[in-house]
C-alpha cells in the first residue's frame, strides 16, 4: 500500500489561511487515487471534511477546500477559527485504504 505523508504540525492565527499537504509515494497517486480529508477533535470520532479531492459534504463550511496537483493533495482552511484546532488526516485508496500520519493544527 502507498504511504501518504503529511506534515506533523501546522499553525496559524485566527483569520489566516493554512494549507496541509498530503504527498503520495507512488507515481500514479495523482491521476488515479481520490483523496479525502478528515478532521478529528480530541476524544472525538473523525469527521469527513473533503472527498473526491475537492468536494465538500453538506454541512461542511466553505472555508474548507481541497485540491490536488501531481502527487500532492492539499487541504486549505481559510479564515481560521479556534474550533478548527484539531488533527487532520488525508486518506486514499490503493488496494486498500491508507491514511496519512495526521497533522496537528494549532490556532495561535
Partner 1 sequence: EVQLVQSGAEVKKPGESLRVSCKGSGYRFTNYWIIWVRQMPGKGLEWMGRIDPGDSFTTYSPSFQGHVTISADKSITAAYLQWSSLQASDSAMYYCARLRRSEHDILTGLYPLDGFDIWGQGTMVTVSS
| Binding stretches for partner 1 (CB under 8 A) | 1, 34-36, 38, 40, 45-48, 51-52, 57, 87, 89, 91-93, 96-102
Q: Judged by CB, which is closer to partner 1: 71, or 103? A: 103
Q: Judged by CB, which is closer to partner 1: 83, or 96? A: 96
Q: Judged by CB, which is closer to partner 1: 13, or 43? A: 43
Shortest spacing between CB 4 and partner 1, in angstroms? 10
The cell numbers describing 52, all together, are 473526491
Shortest spacing between CB 26 and partner 1, in angstroms? 16
Q: Judged by CB, which is closer to partner 1: 10, or 98? A: 98
| Backbone dihedral angles phi then psi of residue 85, each to the nearest 5 degrees | -65, 115
Shortest spacing between CB 50 and partner 1, in angstroms? 8
Pair 70, 50: CB distance under 8 Å: no
Pair 22, 72: CB distance under 8 Å: yes
Shortest spacing between CB 93 and partner 1, in angstroms? 4
> Residue 81, Cβ neighbours under 10 Å: how many?
12
**Which of 84, 87, 83 is CA-nearest to residue 103?**
87
32: enclosing H helix or E strand: helix 29-32
Amino acid at each position: 500500500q502507498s504511504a501518504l505523508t503529511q506534515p506533523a504540525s501546522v499553525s496559524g492565527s485566527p483569520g489566516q489561511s493554512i494549507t496541509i499537504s498530503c504527498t503520495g509515494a507512488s507515481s500514479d497517486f495523482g491521476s488515479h487515487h481520490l483523496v479525502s480529508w478528515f478532521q478529528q477533535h480530541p476524544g472525538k470520532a473523525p469527521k469527513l471534511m473533503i472527498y473526491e479531492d475537492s468536494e465538500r459534504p453538506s454541512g461542511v463550511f466553505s472555508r474548507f477546500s481541497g485540491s490536488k496537483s501531481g502527487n500532492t493533495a492539499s487541504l486549505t482552511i481559510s479564515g481560521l477559527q479556534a474550533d478548527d484546532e484539531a488533527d487532520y488526516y488525508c486518506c486514499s485508496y490503493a488496494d486498500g485504504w491508507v491514511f496519512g500520519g495526521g497533522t496537528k493544527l494549532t490556532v495561535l
